[in-house]
Chain A
Amino acid sequence: LSHLLPVLLALAATLAGCAHVAPYEREELACDCMTSPRTGQYDTFEGHARSSREGASATGWSAGGGCGCN
């Protein structure tokens, strides 16, 4: 449970600190550096490589058993 503490703290921060932001105020949130839309294919490749080397990488995102991933 202690490992979940940062997640719970983040949740508490959300509930405590969020403010309504109107659509026209969202220019900075729409920045490429916030949305990082173009890293998806690399993240899939890198995640697939890691899932065959780490025991806790989640499944369901990339197919195949390449290089003995099981």
Chain B
Amino acid sequence: VSAAPEPAREGWLASRLGAAALGRALATPARGRWWWLGAAVVVGFAFQAASGALLLVHYVPHPDHAFASAWRILWDVPFGWAVRLGHAQGAGLLLALGAAHTTVSALRADYKAPRELVWVCGRALLLLGLATATSGYVLPWSQLSYWATTIATAPLEKLPGIGPTLLALARGGDAVGAPTLSRAFVAHVVVLPLLLAAGLALHAWLLRQAPVPGASSGRPALRAIEVAMIAVGYGTLLLALCVFAPGLAFPPHADVPADPLETPAPIRPEWYLLWASALQALLPERAGLAILALLPVALLAVPFLDRGPVRAARRRPLALAVIAAVLAALVLLTAAGARAESGAASQCVLCHEADEDEFVSACVPQWRASVHAAAAVSCDGCHGGDPLAADEADAHDPALGWVGTPHWRDVPALCGACHESVSDGYTAGRFGPGRSAGGAFPPTCATCHMASGHDTPRADAREILPDPLPERLRPVPELAEMQALVLPLAARERALGERLEALARRALPPTGLARERDALRAAWTPALHRFDPAEFPEAVERALAGLDALEARARAAEAEAGVRGRLAVAGLGLATAVLAGLGALHRRVERAGAGEDA
């Protein structure tokens, strides 16, 4: 007589927690080939929740403090860089995984009966994730946050009927401001994470009710190891993103505090919304809005539109064609959104570029190489006219502000529309209106900065004030005196700029030093443009003192970069070792299981 097998004993804590029952309730009964994508999304959500909670310790959700506190986390709080970078990069990674999960589900027709609700719940989670990422974009309260929010919420007003109410709900007022930040904070930190957590639980429950067809159950031990491997793999990928591509989380204007009076250009959304902005630019306003409003509905309705019983991809050519078309459109629109110049530039560039007369076409490559193209300042910024008109006469209509080559008297004010402090300095100085010696044609902005055409360089003193001075600048005696002071100062600025660029290439988000270097330059350049030799040496002395301080901070940042780099390499090595260990354990448990089955 053989003894009956004893039931497996649970540990003290596990028995009181009901761990076995909980494990059975949480675990999916069976898994398909691509189950790890969904599991990685859950891991990513857990990471975002944890890193978000850590950010809340130091973040202050107030317009006067939000930017400074977010910046302090990045640069002053020990390991704050890892938390903030990880959270920012994690948002993109999570959305990419969610999109991949959706694509695989669509290709495998995992939405077919009886799994309609699994699809609807999963895609609703993707849309909620998008809303969570977008609301999080507001919180650093940078120029990018402020203007991306302004541009993204403005179309709501155009929706018929409920538009103004929706806009008021989103912004909390007429313009983006403190109420918008409060609302984004509550949505990002409380409402959306709760909805996401509940949605994930519901998704897991629905998955238990309707498993993926052809799925097989795995051994609990194997499953635990696999989940651990997914978590470590996710962490490794995230760390690699933070180390090798920190700039992904900090596009232009993300390191400048919000300023409602100054819209920088160009403002581009995060990569996962580029397609939407390109679509809006491509279509008439209402058509673009209608498509953007209908897309989520269409995504959720997929199971009810494709109701045939066939699942095999090769027997669903129409469905495959639709999926391929949607993916291709998303990729193309994203690429178009990423390289979009200011829309205003397009028609001028198209016509001039195609013109056979070199005098007419030469300006286009020059402009493209200039600092103005980089800042999306388009042709009509200086020449007026209608940059969207395809007809030459309409484009060059004086009634639409067409001025051709601006008169030299107008140039300082024209440039001053953007370069305000420099223009103010020039206007108040030696060559300002009415002070030009003998009424002669004085040097204007274009004399030095556009000496060779439209290829306005970044303000490099070696090019603008070469030693010796060119003939055209010799009638200005003040310039020779200033040149002696400017060139050494500019050389130190240039050296600092190169150090900052080198820093930016390392495992670092923007340091803010480049912004401070620009502020320093903005403080001394008006004195230069007043052409007053008596005032200028003092301004240069102040600038040199400022450079001393910035150089010291650059050295500290370089040391910090070294520490972070070593930590990151150690972390990546450790993660790889853990992954290898888990892989070996997985194979061992698998072999043992196969032996038992045999």
Q: Do A and B come from one complex?
A: no
The chain B residues found within 8 Å of chain A, CB to CB, are none
